[in-house]
Amino acid sequence: MRLLSRLGFLIVLLISLFSCRKKADSGDFVPKPKGYNRIDLAETKYQQMSESHPFSFQYSTQAVLKPDTVRWAEPHWMYVYYPELKAMIQLTYKPLGGDKKKLIKLIDDAHKLAARHGQKAYSIQDLVMKTPSGKSAMLMELEGEVPTYLQFYTTDSTRHYLRGALYFNTALKSDSLAPVIDYLKKDVIHLLNTLEWKK
């Protein structure tokens, strides 16, 4: 009886091993592909900036304007903050006062800041855009696992200089952030297209 019981157990064990192997060989078990969190993006609507600065622009109704509070922040530095997306566009403004050397240094610094991410970036693309009002802006798009995916600057070359960078307060990979990056890039372009310098 004991021998039959052991023999029965052995047969059941062999059958289950064989059936598992057969299923695995047939391709029934496939690991799930990597997935990303679903990010719902609201329809974009814009509002006019009402704060008192040497510039004004339109920004998304999904965002709020916050002053930059870092120790070394200068007047008119700010964040266009998107609470739902955990993202922000950091804006730093510099008055030029007609100083061409200052302008050259600021433009050089903007390119150096973008180049610092070169070790982690797959690519950095420089794009010059013309706004409807005839202003020029330089956009630097970075691809890869970098802290900022988009940087830009614009100037009237004599009085005003504005630099911006897009940051995320999240640890998500750039692949999963791609729809949000595209969404916010449209907001950056709208900001630049509606930017006006104050006299």
Break the chain into its structural domains and give their ranges: 46-197
> Token digits for 77?
């530095």
Q: Which residues of the chain have pLDDT under 50?
A: 22-24, 35
Tokens 């059958």 belong to: 15
Fold (CATH) for 46-197: Protein Transport Mog1p; Chain A (3.40.1000)
pLDDT in tens, 44-58: 899 999 889 999 999
Collapsed DSSP state (helix, strand, coil) of residue 36: coil
Give residue 23's pLDDT. 47
pTM, whole model, 2 decimals?
Answer: 0.75
Say what the pLDDT of residue 77 is.
Answer: 97
Query: How far is 162 from 151, CA to CA, in rounded Å?
Result: 11
d(CA 52, CA 173): 36
Compute the half-sphere exposure of residue 191: CA atoms within 13 Å on the CB side of its CA. 29
